[in-house]
């Protein structure tokens, strides 16, 4: 390998989702020479499948008490808003905010109304009940008989967040050919996708590749931390939709019956993206059964919708997290260090700033920054697109 392509950097980050890019930006702001490696398009992992809700914890308080999950995310909506306004720790002013608020809606079912009542009392600083005149258009329909609560939870176009984070630091991001990467003694040898080879001498290696962390750990001959995958079967819907929706429908359990966010496809059609308990339970159904379940749920919850000519799609996705003994969702982000390797999972996109701050603290207290490294003209990755912009994802069923 040519000496001309040997670089000394402080930190190498692997993984170009929101968490990895947020961490890259924070490290470089701190004067730490960090670079990021991505073997796919930026945002191509879990990020492009996220619904984009910056949760403030309300949905985790539906049992009537604050939980570790709700407390961990409580400050995130305000932090993300500040960044979007250009006055926060990261400038996200170029990102697209789809909605300034998210909503909880309850049906006329008694248990659903009780869940809504307790959520509003426990999280009263972050929610307010809406009367008929203030409801979103979708729920202003005369057939709607439930209650609506407005949440202090913005919704972002996740891939626009990726762009806003990546663009100021594009030169520090390398489109790496995954099968070329070799790591030994704080040295990475690799090639970009044009075939140009590099040697990166680093002080810290940060693994933020989501599901890819497990293979990276194996390559490093590390057994811990262990990873778990929690699958979802999400549903997409377009056609017959005149209104956007950003809402959770309350049920009797901690998880909403269904969570709806709205997006736009390449023809600017409204796309509803359905998660919540529907997606959790969907992993036990085949695609046809999941489509039937989604249609049944929407017919019951929003009976005035006219969906006879709609198109539908199924997305089978995995959420990668640190392994919990019982397989449950971790309460917050995770990061641990072993032999100068930090392995991290944000658990949810909203927590990326907290994870990045923790990584910065761990690294800045352990190393002294290298003098500015002049980065070479290496190949940089493309940006991912949303799955609902891919024609083969859709069918009429």
260 pLDDT higher than 80: yes
Residue 194 CA to residue 302 CA, distance in Å, equals 51
Q: Which structural domains are found in the chain, ordered by start? A: 3-47+160-226+325-387 (3.50.50.60), 59-87+97-155+228-320 (3.30.9)
Helix then strand then coil, % of the chain, to nearest 5 = 30, 25, 40
- Which DSSP string corresponds to 296-361? HHHHHHSTT---TT-EEEEEEEEEEEE--TT-PPPSS-EEEEETTEEEEE-SSGGGHHHHHHHHHH
Residue 162 CA to residue 147 CA, distance in Å, equals 35
Lowest mean pLDDT among 26-35, 91-100, 249-258: 249-258
Give Cβ neighbours of residue 355 (< 8 Å, ≥ 6 apart).
Answer: 19, 22, 23, 333, 335, 344, 346
Residue-wise pLDDT tens digits, 353-395: 999 999 999 999 888 877 777 888 899 999 999 999 999 999 9
Express as a percent the part of the chain with pLDDT over 70. Answer: 90
Measured in residues, the chain has a length of 397
Q: What is the pLDDT, as a whole number, of residue 1?
A: 43
Give Cβ neighbours of residue 354 (< 8 Å, ≥ 6 apart).
Answer: 72, 76, 332, 333
Task: Compute the mean pLDDT over every residue in the chain, rounded to the nearest whole number.
Answer: 90
Three-state secondary-structure class, residue 286: coil
Lowest mean pLDDT among 143-147, 260-264, 301-305: 143-147
Give Cβ neighbours of residue 98 (< 8 Å, ≥ 6 apart).
Answer: 52, 155, 156, 157, 244, 246, 261, 262, 263
- What is the arithmetic mean of pLDDT over 270-274? 98
pLDDT band at 259 (very low <50, low <70, confident <90, very high): very high
pLDDT band at 228 (very low <50, low <70, confident <90, very high): very high
28 pLDDT higher than 50: yes
- The pairing of strands 173-175 and 127-130 is unpaired
49 pLDDT higher than 60: yes
79 pLDDT higher than 50: yes
How far CA 112 is from CA of 62, 79, 98, 248, 301, in Å, comes to 10, 30, 27, 11, 12
pTM across the whole model: 0.94
- The pairing of strands 102-106 and 247-249 is parallel
Residue-wise pLDDT tens digits, 86-122: 999 999 999 999 999 999 888 876 555 555 555 555 5
219 pLDDT higher than 60: yes
Residue 291 CA to residue 372 CA, distance in Å, equals 54
Largest CA distance in the chain: 72
Residue 301 CA to residue 106 CA, distance in Å, equals 9
152 pLDDT higher than 90: no
Backbone angles phi, psi at 316, to 5 degrees: -90, 115
Residue 294 CA to residue 55 CA, distance in Å, equals 23
pLDDT band at 3 (very low <50, low <70, confident <90, very high): very low
Q: What angle do CA 294, 261, 209 make, to 5 degrees?
A: 100
Q: What is the pLDDT, as a whole number, of residue 191?
A: 93
186 pLDDT higher than 70: yes
């Amino acid at each position: 390998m040519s000496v001309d392509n040997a670089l000394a950097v402080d930190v190498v980050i692997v993984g170009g989702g929101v968490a990895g890019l947020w961490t890259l930006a924070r490290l470089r702001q701190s004067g730490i020479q960090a670079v990021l490696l991505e073997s796919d398009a930026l945002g191509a992992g879990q990020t492009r499948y996220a619904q984009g809700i910056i949760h403030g914890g309300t949905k985790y308080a539906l049992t009537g008490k604050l939980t570790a999950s709700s407390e961990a995310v409580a400050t995130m909506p305000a932090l993300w808003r500040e960044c979007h306004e250009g006055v926060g720790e990261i400038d996200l002013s170029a990102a697209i905010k789809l909605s300034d608020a998210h909503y909880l809606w309850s049906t006329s079912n008694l248990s659903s109304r009780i869940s809504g009542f307790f959520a509003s009392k426990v999280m009263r600083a972050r929610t307010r009940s809406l009367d008929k005149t203030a409801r979103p258009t979708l729920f202003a329909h005369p057939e709607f008989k439930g209650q609506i609560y407005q949440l202090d939870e913005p919704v972002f176009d996740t891939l626009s967040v990726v762009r806003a984070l990546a663009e100021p630091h594009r030169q520090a991001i390398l489109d790496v050919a995954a099968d070329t990467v070799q790591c030994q003694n704080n040295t990475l040898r690799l090639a970009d996708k044009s075939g140009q080879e590099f040697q990166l001498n680093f002080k810290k290696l940060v693994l933020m590749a989501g599901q890819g962390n497990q293979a990276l750990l194996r390559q490093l001959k590390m057994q811990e931390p262990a990873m778990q995958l929690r699958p979802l079967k999400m549903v997409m819907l377009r056609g017959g939709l005149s209104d956007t929706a950003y809402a959770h429908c309350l049920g009797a359990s901690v998880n909403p019956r269904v969570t709806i966010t709205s997006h736009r496809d390449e023809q600017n059609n409204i796309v509803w993206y359905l998660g919540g308990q529907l997606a959790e339970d969907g992993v036990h159904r085949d695609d046809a059964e999941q489509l039937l379940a989604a249609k049944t749920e929407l017919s019951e919850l929003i009976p005035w919708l006219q969906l006879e000519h709609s198109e539908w799609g199924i997305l089978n996705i995995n959420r990668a997290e640190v392994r919990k003994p019982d397989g449950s969702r971790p309460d917050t982000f995770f990061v641990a260090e072993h032999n100068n390797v930090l392995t991290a999972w944000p658990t949810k996109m909203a927590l990326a700033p907290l994870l990045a701050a923790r990584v910065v603290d761990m690294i800045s207290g352990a190393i002294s920054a290298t003098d500015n490294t002049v980065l070479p003209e290496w190949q940089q990755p493309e940006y991912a697109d949303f799955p609902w912009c891919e024609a083969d994802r859709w069918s009429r069923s």
